[in-house]
Chains A and B, each alone.
Chain A
Amino acid sequence: MKKRNIVLTVALAVVIAGGITFGGISWASTANMLGNYKSQLDYVYRMNFYELVDNVNDIESDLGKLSVTTNNNNASKYVSNILNASSSAQNNITQLPLNHQTIDNTIQFVNQLGGFMYSLQTQMSSGDSLSLDDIDQIENLHSSAENVKYELNKLSVLISNGNYSIIDNIQDPNVASNAFSDEWSGLNNNTIEYPSLIYDGPFSDSTTNKTIQGLSESEISATDAEIRLKNWFNGYTITSNGEVNGGEFDVYNFTLTKNDEELYAQITKRDGILLQLNSGEVSKSKDKSLSECESLAVEFASKLGFEDMVVTWSTSSNNFAYINLTPVQNDVILYPDLIKVKVSQETGSVVGWEAKSWAYNHRERANLDASIDGLQARMAVSESMDIRTDRLTLIPGDFVGEILAYEFMCVYSGSTYYVYIDANTGEQCNVLKVVETDDGNLLM
């Protein structure tokens, strides 16, 4: 009996000791692995940080050189250096574990800087040198860049300290406010004055406040909006969903229901046009061809009061036809005013509509006369291109303004291209390529 007890105790002890050893080893290896992951992540953050500092140092010195150089070749070299550095700086800073509110103005600064440099590059490549206004802007940017550089280099001293770990200063990965972020407070706009930038580019402060040119000032009531919807959509029950003010457009919201189908519609207060329509319905079959859907879209537009619309692009994806309708004035296609329509190929009904560009831009255009004729414009198209169609169009400028241009649809080595030739200068202003994707054809 006693012997048996001893054996049992020894056996138990061996099992427990084994368990502890095994547990300890696996705990140690997990902790070791976590430690490795932590260091790896810390290195990635560090790499981004040091690259950011380098990029901002380069930006600062090149902006300084750009503001004093008198040589156009040098200037364009600095411009392209700053353009590249600002785009990588943007990448670096958005990959760091920082509270967005601490650095959103810094991100805006590098984005706008890049946009401004891009517009200068375009300007200089057409032979123009920097204007006095440009130099003024560059000097403002330079002084902001100096401040950003100063703050970043201060941070660099902290982070380069061997004992500092970025990871250890983030704490909870779900909470944006952390000790690491707090170190960056010197970069927010209370400390650094970031200049407001107006230039011909996508992030310009002027493009964020677009003016609405397609709608008059007269507003319709919610009741009138509902009556309009009843006329446009037969057989649907219409429920009001309130109104939205303060966004891009002030609108009334409605839900339209018929059987199980549900559509969401927004009517603008000004002029009461259908701004957006959509639904979560799926389309199960392709009973209607793309060209049938095109006619249905044009018909629907005309019912809503959008006359003289032509189909300028269409593609089919997931049993839906996506169709671009564009108004025509004096035989000129007005691309800036296009409306996107989505038609179910199963039922043939319009289930999507987007008329924001129309609402922003549509108006009677004053000057649609070309100074050169189509034959002259043809000369500017590469000889190797096989031109299939041509027509006169109004196209949006890169970022602002509109250009009257001849559009040539061409085929070159099996691919389709759209080439645009300025109808006043005869210069080529844009080339688009048709790209076949898994999700229909795209113009790029």
Chain B
Amino acid sequence: MNKKISIKLVSVIMSIVMIFCAGIVGLSVSIDSYSEQVIETGLTTSQIRTVQTKLKNWGYYSGEVDGIFGSKTRAAVISFQKKNGLVADGIVGTKTAQALGMSLTTQTSGDLYNLAKCIYAEARGEPYVGQVAVGAVILNRVESSKFPNTIYGVIYQPYAFTCVADGQINLEPDETAYNAARDALNGWDPTYGALYYYNPATATSSWIWSRQILVTIGKHNFAI
């Protein structure tokens, strides 16, 4: 009987202690996160930097130009909005951005992503220059009148790439494939204008052998 009571007592005390501890931990977390709070703004780091630079130059902001939208930046935005007759909500929307003299429009590059995906799926085992070469062939096709006129049009043209037929195109590209895609988009063409490439060990089409080979990189022949 005594034993039972004592067990009950211990467990009650333990729970109280645990709840208390949890409270303190919770409290300390909330204090910490408040002091370093990063406010979700939908702005890019460079846009936040622009906001901070402008507010600093005009004397609204005294903190670091660090690209992090924290409580100090928010306070500066609010005082800027109040001074300029805008809704003082601390959010840099279209009107506030206009008053600040900056633009909010950004765009992501779907071309880069698609190109990197196709490079990764088709040539991930190839030397780097061979990966750029695959990207260059895709871009040469976009420029050619005999192929579709967009990057995704070229990639998803039926029978154009085996990686699309067998689903490897859906693999997430690695950093190397992204770099190769960037280099190809920046104009590096190790194939000298090639429109086709094939692996001579596995190519089945007799037609492809009739094309003029410009260069061989890794396992692939590049041809026009």
Contacts and interface: CB of A to CB of B under 8 A. Distances in A.
A247 B189 CA distance: 11
B214 A280 contact: no
B109 A100 contact: no
Given A97-B159, A437-B106, A91 B153 contact: yes
A247 B136 CA distance: 13
Interface in A228-270: 244, 246-249, 251, 253, 262, 264, 266
Contacts of B175: 282
B57 to A, nearest CB: 16
Given A248-B193, A264-B190, A278-B188, A413 B98 contact: yes
Interface range for B? 35 or more
Contact of A247 (B104, B109, B131, B191): B191
Interface string B150-165: 0001000111101001
Interface stretch (B17-25, B32-40, B179-187): B179-187
B148 A439 contact: no
Contacts of A251: 192
Contacts of B108: 437-438
Contacts of A203: 145
B148 A90 contact: yes
B128 interface: yes
Contact of B182 (A108, A253, A317): A317
A426 B116 CA distance: 43
Contact of B162 (A174, A249, A415, A439): A174
B194 to A, nearest CB: 7
A411 B114 CA distance: 32
A282 B215 contact: no
B189 to A, nearest CB: 7
Interface in B72-114: 97-98, 100-109, 112
Given A173-B165, A247-B194, A437-B109, A95 B214 contact: no
B159 A435 contact: no
A279 interface: yes
A27 B35 CA distance: 60
A247 B101 contact: no
A276 B153 contact: no
A177 B183 CA distance: 34
Contacts of A175: 159, 204
Interface of B: 44, 46-47, 97-98, 100-109, 112, 128-129, 131-132, 143, 145-149, 153, 157-160, 162, 165-166, 175-176, 178-180, 182-183, 186-194, 204-205, 207, 212, 214-215, 224
29 contacts: A91-B153, A96-B158, A98-B158, A98-B159, A100-B160, A111-B145, A111-B146, A115-B145, A176-B158, A244-B215, A246-B212, A247-B194, A247-B214, A247-B215, A264-B190, A278-B132, A278-B188, A278-B190, A280-B176, A280-B180, A318-B178, A340-B186, A352-B183, A354-B187, A414-B97, A414-B101, A415-B105, A436-B46, A438-B44
